[in-house]
Amino acid sequence: QKEVEQNSGPLSVPEGAIASLNCTYSDRGSQSFFWYRQYSGKSPELIMSIYSNGDKEDGRFTAQLNKASQYVSLLIRDSQPSDSATYLCAVILSGGSYIPTFGRGTSLIVHP
């Protein structure tokens, strides 16, 4: 069983819509969660980190964490074509190491 699961997509949304990206994880003791964006041919860059249950907002991005249900989501409001990329979910599993486990990523396409 993969420890961090994401739907590979592609998820296609029209410009201006809300894009919702989901990630589930298997380790109930996980404490740290991250969303990275990776443009084609580029390296991942951090969008947001979240550590507590609930919502965390940063501009057009909102991360949502529900530890009881073991999922973390990323919402992108007013999606733009420049948001088209692969979004990687990463989770620091319990056990004391700083090594995040990455999901395979969800490809997002925002069409004009």
Partner 1 sequence: GAGVSQSPSNKVTEKGKDVELRCDPISGHTALYWYRQSLGQGLEFLIYFQGNSAPDKSGLPSDRFSAERTGGSVSTLTIQRTQQEDSAVYLCASSDARTGSGETQYFGPGTRLLVL
Quick one: which H or E segment has residue 67? none
61 counts as binding partner 1 under rule CB under 8 A: no
Nearest partner of 86 among 33, 3, 9, judged by Cα = 9
In this chain, which stretch among 21-29, 42-50, 60-68, 72-80 interacts with partner 1, using CB under 8 A? 42-50
Q: How far is the CB of 58 from partner 1 (least distance, A)?
A: 14
9 interacts with partner 1 by CB under 8 A = no
The phi and psi torsions of 67 (rounded to 5 degrees) equal -70, -30
CB of 60 to partner 1, least distance (A): 20
List the one residue from 1, 69, 82, 97 that touches partner 1 (CB under 8 A).
Answer: 97
How far is residue 92's CA from residue 8's CA, in Å, rounded to a whole number?
21
Please report whether residue 103 would count as binding partner 1 according to CB under 8 A: yes
Which residues have C-beta within 8 Å of that of residue 96, sequence separation ≥ 6?
Answer: none
Q: How far is CA 99 from the centre of its chain?
A: 17
User: What are the tokens at 67?
Assistant: 């530890």
Q: Select the span of 10-18, 22-30, 64-72, 101-109 touching partner 1 (CB under 8 A).
A: 101-109
Which residue number, 99 or 112, has a Cβ lying nearer to partner 1? 99
Kindly tell me which of 7 and 17 has the beta carbon lying closer to partner 1.
7
The H or E element spanning position 105 is none
